[in-house]
Amino acid sequence: GQNIDQPTEMTATEGAIVQINCTYQTSGFNGLFWYQQHAGEAPTFLSYNVLDGLEEKGRFSSFLSRSKGYSYLLLKELQMKDSASYLCAVRGRRDSNYQLIWGAGTKLIIKP
Amino acid sequence: GAVVSQHPSRVICKSGTSVKIECRSLDFQATTMFWYRQFPKQSLMLMATSNEGSKATYEQGVEKDKFLINHASLTLSTLTVTSAHPEDSSFYICSARGGPDGYSNQPQHFGDGTRLSIL
């Protein structure tokens, strides 16, 4: 089957660094996405990885290892506004099409 | 860029009412649009995928006669919840992506969502 695992909840301190892991098992692979979702709001796109390695975008970086079925989202210099759920999504093959398969999200709590 | 507008943001109505939600891509052509539903503290649940000019593909367990989807143009898709009941109360979110389904590496961009409350 197709499955995405990520921790349910994490807590970190303002100004620190946090790494949110995501492991996946999918039929086919055509990219991995990270989204941020604040409570009561729609998700917003953060990053996209399709090749192995690290993609850096400001305070956020995302890493992918296709052989391990593993990704992480790294958040640096944490701010209170980073408190949100972080969703890992993999574009995997379903029937004859590719479709995004969503993780349940990791709720990140930032403490002062 | 990549702005998706969803309207209305909130609807409160009586049981039995039909509710239409619009989703527009403002600065790109969305060949594929997706409709999701999300219950509190749960993950996104894909309801259906629609490609412009063709019938929507519904996920298992989603009633196509209950949730009518129209994707008549490259910038507009609508979801109509027909004869809504309290159990249909949820957060409905559309997303849009340019490029042909299955071949594009473009991310999905989301509308702001519609909070539907059926009394």
Whether residues A100 and B111 touch (CB distance < 8 A) is answered with: no
pLDDT tier at B1 (50, 70, 90 boundaries)? low
Identity of residue B72: A
Cα separation, A11 vs A40, whole angstroms: 20
| pLDDT per position as a tens digit, B6-24 | 999 999 999 999 999 999 9
Residues 6+ apart with CB under 8 A from B12: B117, B119
What percent of chain B lies above the pLDDT cut of 70?
A: 92
User: In chain A, which residue's Cα lies nearest the Cα of B105?
Assistant: A31
End-to-end CA separation in angstroms for chain B:
37
Cα Rg, chain B, nearest whole Å: 14
Q: Which of A45-59, B40-54, B65-79 has the lowest mean pLDDT?
A: B40-54
Mutate to test the interface with A, among B28, B49, B97, B105 (most CBs of A within 10 A): B105
Predicted local distance difference test score (pLDDT) of residue B102: 44
Q: Which residues contact A10 (CB under 8 A, 6 or more apart)?
A: A18, A20, A106, A107, A108, A109
Residue of chain A whose alpha carbon sits nearest to that of B57: A97
Residue type, B58: Y
Nearest by CB to B101, which of A42, A44, A97?
A: A97
Cα–Cα distance for residue pair A42/A39, rounded to 1 Å:
8
Whether residue A42 and residue B110 make contact (CB cut-off 8 A), yes or no, is yes
CB pairs under 8 A between A and B: 48
Q: Which two tokens stand for residue B43?
A: 């993950």
pLDDT digits (tens, 9 = 90+) for A61-103: 999 999 999 999 999 999 999 999 999 999 887 766 677 889 9
Question: Which residue bears the tokens 């979801």?
Answer: B79
Q: Cβ separation of A98 and B101 shorter than 8 Å?
A: yes
Q: Check CB contact of B105 with chain A, cutoff 8 Å.
A: yes
The residue that leads in pLDDT, B67 or B103, is B67
Who has greater pLDDT, B28 or B91?
Answer: B91
Q: Chain A: give the shortest CA distance to residue B82, in Å.
A: 23
Contacts B108 to A, Cβ<8 Å: 33, 45, 100
Please state, rounded to an integer, the average pLDDT across all residues of chain B. 88
Q: Which of A43, A98, A103 sits opposite B110 (nearest CB)?
A: A43
Dihedral of CA atoms B43, A90, B73, B111 in degrees, nearest 10, equals 40
Q: How far apart are CA B3 and CA A92, in angstroms?
A: 25
pLDDT computed for residue A2 by the predictor? 78
Q: What is the CA radius of gyration of chain A?
A: 14
Taking an 8 Å cut-off on Cβ atoms, the answer to whether A87 and B44 are in contact is: yes
Placement of tokens 């619009």 in the chain: B22
* φ/ψ of residue A30, rounded to 5: -140, 45
Question: What pLDDT, in 10s, does the model give residues A14-70?
Answer: 999 999 999 999 888 889 999 999 998 999 999 999 999 999 999 999 999 999 999
User: Looking at the DSSP assignment, which residues form a beta bridge with residue B67?
Assistant: B81
Q: How far is B92 from chain A (nearest CA, A)?
A: 9
